Amino acid sequence: MKRTEKIKFIGEKLDELFPNPPIPLNYTNPFTMLVAVVLSAQCTDIRVNQVTAVLFKHADTPQKMVKLGVERIAEIIKPCGFFNTKSVNIFKLSQALVEKFKGEVPHSFEELESLPGVGHKTASVIMSHIFKLPAFPVDTHIHRLAERWGLSDGSSVEKTEEDLKKAFPESEWEKRHLQIIYFGRTYCKARGHKDEDCPICSVIKSKKRPPQQSAG
């Protein structure tokens, strides 16, 4: 299958299975989304949502988070794992937002990535889903599937991001990011995966041409 055929088929199958993928993390404003994404590292979205349901009752702004303090933050987010490091980062990024950005989450990669605990992937999530600016966040699911589908070589998340941005139109990046995550969790898992059982791998890794989508 040619690369262009493969990309077209993948896009159509993702649209079929996950036409309107929701953001899996609960949030009420850019700050709570930022904190939720920081907490999501090495933690399931379900667990994060359980923790933030408590955390955001106490602190849903940078100012309130600073007042809460590191020890109380750590106590609340303990179920997420790596809570000592995450609590310090959440406290310090809240401080930085208050002191440098007037309590507002900044709108640029450079400024977001200057915040403690905020890397490129976290910044990309905020840029894409909150500010609706061009970004293609790459998590472990997306990195795995991009290599598995032959869209990237798996050498680095940076290369995966670059290749996926070339594969899909910019207008689709936000949607594709979510769709691939949901697909990876549902059909194309890291362990126990069988190509023949996967709605995408079973087609793109076979010698058959992908089925044509009917018009209308």
pLDDT at 216 over 90: no
146-193 pLDDT per residue, tens:
999 999 999 999 999 999 999 999 999 999 999 999 999 999 999 999
Q: Give the DSSP letter string of the chain.
A: --HHHHHHHHHHHHHHH-SSPPPSS--SSHHHHHHHHHHTTTS-HHHHHHHHHHHHHH-SSHHHHHHH-HHHHHHHHGGGSSHHHHHHHHHHHHHHHHHHHTT---SSHHHHTTSTT--HHHHHHIIIIIT--S-----HHHHHHHHHTTSS-SS-HHHHHHHHHHHS-GGGHHHHHHHHHHHHHHTS-SSS--GGGSTTHHHHTSSSPPPPPPP-
Quick one: pLDDT at residue 214?
47
The verdict on whether 139 is a catalytic residue reads yes
Q: Whole-model pTM?
A: 0.91
The residue annotated as part of the active site, out of 60, 139, 163, 195, is 139
Average confidence (pLDDT) over 114-137: 97
The residue annotated as part of the active site, out of 6, 13, 86, 121, is 121
The verdict on whether 121 is a catalytic residue reads yes
Ordered domains of the chain (ranges, CATH): 3-21+136-204 (1.10.1670.10), 30-130 (1.10.340.30)
